[in-house]
Structure 1
Amino acid sequence: MSDTEQVNGSLKKRVIFVGVGGASCSGKTTLAKHLRSVLPGSFIIHQDDFAPPEQLVPVHPTLNVQDWDDPEGAIEWPRMVNFLRRTLLPVLEQSLNHWRAYFTQIQQKAAEEEQTEIIWALVDGFLLYWHPDVVKELDVRIFLRVTYDTLKKRRNERFGYHTAVQFSSEGSLWQDPPGYWDDIVWPAYLKAHKPHFHRRQRQRW
């Protein structure tokens, strides 16, 4: 959570971090884009942008392929935490208009009564709730729950992922090797969210 700061003698600025977490292919980015369309002054922070460079991604000990999903090595956590702490700036149309008007009123009220400009930072990530220092920075926490079968189907239908985009304009195209979902992605998802799930929920959620 960023502190409120006075900027150039005008309105104070306060960044409200809205976490949008969930498994790979759960719809996080889609939801974040919808929220951006209705929250005035909002922008999206993608957790994927804090992945390590490709050559530093750990290799799975038994499958001998790069593991982009294990929470301990998939994200450069100190860099992400530092970024969140320092950040100040960067559906139906009827529903979008309704919520856009609603949040605009909130923003206007804050400006008039508290002399504060609200900036909404939408933080999108598949390991968003694993590192306690990241969780601490989030003012609002949304978690998308999607069934195992649906997630696997969506993942299999994707052509691939561009990785390490912070180090190259295009990144590298990653395609899951055989068994990657069942042996790496799903176990890593359960590992990262184990504290938040009951035992029964860990079976197919």
Structure 2
Amino acid sequence: MCDRKAVIVGISGASSSGKTTLARLLRDILPNTFILHEDDFYKAESELPTRDGLLDWDCAEALSIPDMTKALSHIRGNGTFPPFVDSKEDQNSVGKCPVSDAKIAAMKSKVDEWLQPGRKGHEILKEGGLKVCLLDGFLLYSKDLQSAMDLLDIKLFLLVSRAKATQRREARDGYVTLEGFWADPPGYVDKIVWPNYAESHAWLFEDGDVEGTLSERALAETKILAQKGLGLDVDMETTFEWTVNMLIEQLEAFWEQRPAVDT
């Protein structure tokens, strides 16, 4: 028997790297799964720091880290969405799904097969009743969020080029916030979003180049998983399939290594 009610899967990467799209796709094919968004822990707009004369939504200081760790601890112990979190992020659109119906059906079929009686998925998610929380956020692997990172059981990191991230972010209408709605002012990605991402994630890359080669040492020390050797802008169909396969592998490993309690 396991005293853990949920496994927490971090999905992180730069803004517009595909985190929320991926999380929603996974939630649709995995049972016992719900999403928690890092964006639901933003401080009030009046408390946000500024950078270059602009409100800075893309730094650790904009988030209530204690509230995030409290929510993650609740999920670990109870296996339920924290009742004290008022989620706004699911109101935001991520645009047209970049994954074909055929690929979604194929991945759902793979998961369904894994969930059949006698298979590990059935033991873990059906008989064991383990819940899966997908936490998506742009800063999960920042050193400033170490307390939250320590509560993640599986860590996935999505790569994206500056050009692609800028193109995707600038195509968005804006974001639902606690106060109403936020739309990026002109040049926001170049002035705020990308510099913050680069500064916070330099430690994960050789020579600190976030468009360069990932540091094998940093990945090994933190157990962060990424699609290595495929370049920066991997299409979402490939990423979706990679993630499904990785989650099956990692959930099985977690289940085998779970701490037991006396019954």
TM-score (norm 2): 0.65
Deviations 1:68-98 (A, max 9, x none): 0122x12110110111012221342122121
Match for residue 131 of structure 2?
A: 119
Instruction: Decide which of 177, 192, 197 is 1:163's aligned counterpart.
Output: 177
Gaps of 5+ in 1: 6-12, 165-170
Query: What is the count of residue pairs matched by the alignment?
Result: 185
Q: Which residue of 2 aligns with 1:51?
A: 42
Distance 1:202 1:28 in 2: 17
Question: Shift of residue 128 of structure 1?
Answer: 1.1
Aligned residue in 1 for 2:218:
none
Aligned to 2:160: 146
Alpha-carbon separation, structure 2, partners of 1:67 and 1:84: 24
Q: Secondary structure at the match of 2:11?
A: strand
SS in 2 for 1:80: helix
Deviations for 1:33-61, whole angstroms, at most 9, x for unmatched residues?
A: 1111222100000010001011111122x
Higher strand share: 1
The superposition leaves residues 82-116 of structure 1 with CA deviations (integer Å, 9 ceiling, x where unpaired) of 1101222134212212123315643432478xx63
Specify the code of the residue in structure 1 equivalent to 2:133.
A
Match of 2:149 in 1: 135
Identity of aligned residues (%): 34
**TM superposition shift of 1:178:** 2.2
SS in 2 for 1:158: coil
What is the DSSP-based 3-state SS (H/G/I as helix, E as strand, rest coil) of the residue aligned with 1:177? coil
Mark the runs of 5 or more structure 2 residues left unpaired by the alignment: 82-102, 213-231, 233-263
Q: Which of structure 1's runs of 4+ aligned residues deviate more than 2 A?
A: 103-108, 199-205
Q: Distance in 1 between matches of 2:32 and 2:124?
A: 13
User: How far apart are the structure 2 equivalents of 1:32 and 1:152?
Assistant: 21
Contact 1:40 1:103 in 2 (8 A): no
SS at match of 1:16: strand
State the match for 2:70 in structure 1: 82
Cα distance 1:111–1:34, how it changes in 2: closer, same or farther (>3 A)?
A: closer
Higher fraction of helix: 2
Structure 2 CA distance for aligned equivalents of residues 176 and 146 of structure 1? 19
More displaced stretch, 182-191 vs 100-109: 100-109
Q: Secondary structure at the match of 1:123?
A: strand
Kindly indicate whether residue 202 of structure 2 is the aligned counterpart of residue 194 of structure 1: yes
RMSD: 2.2
Residue 66 of structure 1: aligned partner: 55
| Alpha carbons 2:31, 2:125 under 8 Å: kept | no
Match of residue 16 from structure 1? 7
